Chain A
Amino acid sequence: MLLRRYAARMNRFLQFLGNVTWLRILLVMVLTTVATAIVKPYFMHDVSFSYLWGRLFIVGAVMLSAFIVGNVVHAQASAKRFTLLQIQFVALVSGAMLGTVISGLAIGRSLNQMVTNEAIFWGMVIFIAVGVSLGVIAATVLVYREQAARAAADASKADAERHELEKQVLEARLKLMQAQIEPHFLFNTLANVQHLVEANPPLAAKTLESLITYLRAALPEMREGRTKLGREVDMANAYLEIQQTRMGDRLHFLIDVPLQLRTATFPPMMLLTLVENAIKHGIDPMQQGGEIQVRAVVNDGMLDVSVADSGQGLSPTAGVGIGLQNIRERLQALFGKTAKLILEENTPRGMVARIRISHDINER
Chain B
Amino acid sequence: MNDDMHTALIADDEPLLRDQLKARLNKLWPELSLTGLAVNGAEALSLFEELEPDIVFLDIHMPVMTGLETARLIGRGRSKRTHIVFVTAYDEYAVEAFERGAIDYVLKPFNEARLMETITRVKERLDSRRDPERADDAEATLEIVLRQLSNRLELPVDQHLRWIKASVGQTVRLIPIEEVVYFQSDEKYTRVALEDSEVLIRKPIKELLEELDPRQFWQIHRATIVNTRAIAGVVRGPRDQADLKLKGRPETLTVSRNFTSLFKQM
Contacts and interface: CB of A to CB of B under 8 A. Distances in A.
A191 B108 contact: yes
A345 B172 contact: yes
A248 interface: yes
Contact of A343 (B23, B174, B195): B174
Chain B interface, DSSP helix/strand/loop, else mixed: loop
Interface residues of B, number: 42
Given A317-B160, A345-B165, 20 more contacts: A184-B90, A188-B14, A188-B17, A192-B17, A195-B16, A195-B20, A249-B15, A284-B63, A285-B64, A287-B63, A314-B163, A316-B163, A316-B164, A319-B158, A343-B163, A343-B175, A345-B171, A345-B174, A351-B174, A352-B171
Sorted nearest first, the 8 A-B pairs with minimum C-beta distance are: A195-B20, A187-B89, A191-B108, A191-B109, A343-B174, A345-B172, A183-B90, A248-B15
Contacts of B78: none
Given A187-B108, A287-B40, A196 B163 contact: no
Contacts of B163: 314, 316, 318, 343
Interface of B: 13-17, 19-20, 23, 39-40, 42, 61, 63-64, 89-91, 107-110, 157-165, 171-176, 178, 195-196, 211, 237-238
Interface residues of A, number: 40
Contacts, number: 104
Nearest to B14: A246
B27 to A, nearest CB: 11
B162 A317 contact: yes
A316 B165 contact: yes
Contacts of B16: 192, 195-196, 199, 245-246, 248
Interface in A268-296: 284-287
A319 B84 CA distance: 33
Contacts of B171: 344-345, 352
Interface string A310-347: 00001011110000110000000000010000111100
B89 A344 contact: no
Chain A interface, DSSP helix/strand/loop, else mixed: helix
Given A316-B165, A319-B162, A345-B171, A191 B20 contact: yes
A112 B238 CA distance: 43
Contacts of A195: 16-17, 19-20, 23
A151 to B, nearest CB: 21
13 contacts: A188-B108, A190-B109, A191-B17, A192-B17, A193-B109, A194-B109, A246-B16, A316-B211, A319-B158, A343-B173, A343-B175, A344-B172, A351-B174
A317 B63 contact: no
A193 B89 CA distance: 13
B248 to A, nearest CB: 10
A195 B91 CA distance: 21
Contacts of A182: 90
Contacts of B195: 337
B161 A316 contact: yes
A316 B15 CA distance: 32
Interface in A174-228: 182-184, 186-188, 190-196, 198-199
Contacts of B19: 195, 199
Contacts of B162: 316-319
Contact of A187 (B64, B90, B160): B90
A184 B13 CA distance: 14
